[in-house]
């Protein structure tokens, strides 16, 4: 059988990994699909650039047409990143009957349904395993492995950069900027790391996970999102003292037919399996009604781990080609989107505030919470260095987000409260 011919869009961190795996694992690929795999052309921005990986310079091009319009190319691997231009390339690719494998969560979170529909119309596969949690086969885990179950909750550490930064800050006391620079150097961060540290990268991945896990079209705008840039050393210290670890957590939760999807830094009970996920590692905790607790763990970023997911998708496309069943795997979602309101989202909350150290302040705060039927699980008051000021730290029992936000507003309006220093969701105390 003739070789399968690949067009690669991008030869950066992930593209270089793809080239290495295709070269180094050729035997295994041949065994699985019965023919050699050849990279035919590689699109880059700058042909003259020094590369980490050796490729024949004749393979490089800066013209997308050399790949998108090339009749010899069967499959396109997109690892160039970007959204608008890339969307046009991939639409052209499937219209030209080329199967697509992509690692691009920015693109899939925004235009996934459109691209998948166009691929299906053209009997092409469009696989995107590498777009969520790098080397962890979580999308296949959800779609195939848990196909028979009803998933009710997913909690994910799905951004390697922020997990790396938070691990360095809490375990080695590294300053934020230093930890971020290290994550960039190691190739975990996006070219502009704002999307990592502001939680947007994780939000994109959670939109993809929730869409597949709940079989509902969840848009990026449906995911509430908060990053890690405001986390302080004090917050990390308090979380440790209270038996928690600070993590950027994506949460997708379903109660009945209603769902919520969010990304935020949270205090995670240190006995929860996700609390042991450190450095650039990712994990997705999935709770299914029948299976109970499962967790998928592994490297969430980096050249070879991400490339592994891409080349595995490539094998999937090639197996489908052999069976002549390409373009049949992306089914339409089963359910209409049905999002929870704020008064249907329940969680425990951590709150740290500075108050005037006066008689009655403690009572005022506890009364305020009681009026909204929120009770405390933990509360402590400590004097601050500045005379007449005190710090109050508390963890609530489960309360609706609506009630908690109302209380925050009333605390801000109260003259005894000097400043609300921080609030975090508290997770992992109970199963599910």
* Catalytic residue (choose from 205, 247, 340, 348): 205
**Residue 189 Cβ vs ligand NAP, minimum distance, rounded to whole Å:** 8
Region near ligand HSE per CB under 6 A, out of 74-82, 157-165, 244-252, 355-363: 157-165
SS3 call for 73: coil
Please select the residue that binds ligand NAP; options are 139, 212, 277, 301, rule is CB under 6 A: 301
Q: Residue 178 Cβ, how far from ligand HSE at the closest point, in Å?
A: 17
CB 3 within 8 A of CB 22: no
Dmax over CA atoms of the chain, in Å, equals 85
Residues 283 and 274: beta-carbon distance below 8 Å? yes
Tell me the CA distances in angstroms from 290 to 137, 147, 429, one per residue in order. 21, 11, 21
- The answer to whether 250 and 158 are in contact (CB under 8 A) is yes
Q: Which is nearer to ligand HSE, 37 or 283 (CB)?
A: 283
DSSP-assigned states of every residue in 251-291: EEEEETTEEEEEEEEEEEETTSGGGG--TTEEEEEEEETTT
Distance CA 369, CA 397 (A): 11
If you ran DSSP here, which 8-state letter would residue 119 be given?
H
Can you tell me which of 106, 125, 129, 201 binds ligand HSE, judged by CB under 6 A? 201
Single residue of 40, 104, 262, 282 touching ligand NAP by CB under 6 A: 104
When asked if residue 8 is in the footprint of ligand NAP (CB under 6 A), the reply is no
Site for ligand HSE, residues 23 to 82, rule: CB under 6 A: none
Rounded Cα gap, residues 229 and 227, in angstroms: 6
Binding to ligand HSE in span 268-327, by CB under 6 A: 300-301
CB of 302 to ligand HSE, least distance (A): 8
Among 7, 112, 134, 213, binds ligand NAP (CB under 6 A): 134
d(CA 290, CA 286): 11
Residue for token pair 């990390």:
236
Closer CB to ligand NAP, residue 275 or residue 277?
A: 277
Angle, helices 84-95/105-121, rounded to nearest 10 degrees = 20
Asked if 188 is part of the footprint of ligand HSE (rule: CB under 6 A), the reply reads yes
- 205: annotated active-site residue: yes
Q: Determine which residue in the list 76, 126, 139, 189 makes contact with ligand HSE, applying CB under 6 A.
A: 189
**Which residues, numbered 18-47, are part of the site for ligand NAP (CB under 6 A)?**
43-46
Q: Applying CB under 6 A, which of residues 112, 141, 156, 187 lies at the interface with ligand NAP?
A: 187
Taking each helix axis from N to C end, the angle separating 13-24 and 303-323, rounded to the nearest 10 degrees, works out to: 60
Active site (catalytic) residues: 205
Binding residues for ligand NAP, rule: CB under 6 A, are 10-15, 43-46, 49, 79-82, 85, 103-104, 130, 134, 187-188, 190-191, 301-302, 306
Binding residues for ligand HSE, rule: CB under 6 A, are 134, 159-161, 188-190, 196, 201, 300-301
């Amino acid at each position: 059988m003739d070789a399968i011919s690949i067009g690669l869009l991008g030869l950066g961190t992930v593209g270089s990994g793809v080239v290495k795996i295709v070269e180094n694992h050729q035997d295994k690929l041949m065994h699985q699909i019965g023919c050699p795999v050849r990279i035919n052309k590689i699109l880059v921005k700058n042909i003259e650039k020094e590369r980490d990986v050796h490729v024949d310079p004749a393979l490089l091009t800066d013209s997308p047409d050399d790949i998108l319009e090339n009749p010899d190319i069967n499959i396109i691997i997109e690892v160039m990143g970007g959204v608008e231009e890339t969307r046009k390339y991939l639409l052209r690719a499937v219209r030209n009957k080329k199967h697509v494998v992509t690692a691009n969560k920015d693109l899939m979170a925004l235009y996934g349904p459109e691209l998948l529909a166009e691929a299906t119309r053209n009997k092409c596969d469009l696989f995107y395993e590498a777009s969520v949690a790098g080397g962890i086969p979580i999308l296949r885990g959800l779609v195939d492995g848990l196909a028979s179950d009803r998933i009710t909750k997913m909690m994910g550490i799905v951004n390697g950069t922020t997990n790396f930064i938070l691990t360095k800050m809490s375990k080695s006391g590294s300053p934020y900027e230093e930890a971020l620079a290290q994550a960039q150097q190691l190739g975990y961060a996006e070219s502009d790391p704002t999307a990592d540290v502001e939680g947007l990268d994780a939000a994109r991945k959670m939109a993809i996970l929730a869409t597949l896990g709940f079989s509902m079209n969840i848009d990026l705008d449906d995911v509430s999102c908060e990053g890690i840039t405001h986390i302080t050393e004090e917050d990390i210290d308090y979380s440790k003292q209270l038996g928690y670890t600070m993590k950027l957590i994506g949460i997708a939760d379903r109660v009945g037919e209603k769902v919520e999807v969010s990304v935020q830094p949270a205090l995670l009970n240190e006995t929860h399996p996700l609390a042991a996920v450190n450095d650039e590692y990712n994990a997705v905790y999935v709770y299914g009604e029948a299976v109970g607790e499962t967790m998928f763990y592994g490297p969430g970023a980096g050249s070879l781990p991400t490339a592994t997911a891409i080349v595995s998708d490539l094998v999937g496309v090639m197996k489908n080609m052999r069976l002549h069943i390409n373009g049949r795997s992306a089914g339409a979602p089963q359910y209409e989107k049905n999002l929870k309101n704020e008064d249907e989202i329940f969680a425990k909350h951590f709150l740290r505030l500075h108050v005037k150290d006066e008689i009655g302040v403690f009572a005022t705060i506890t009364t305020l919470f009681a009026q909204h039927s929120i009770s405390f699980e933990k509360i402590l008051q400590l004097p601050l260095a500045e005379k007449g000021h005190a710090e109050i730290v508390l963890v609530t029992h489960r309360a609706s987000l609506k009630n908690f936000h109302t209380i925050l507003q009333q605390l801000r309006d109260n003259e005894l409260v000097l400043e609300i220093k921080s609030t975090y969701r508290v997770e992992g105390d109970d199963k599910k």
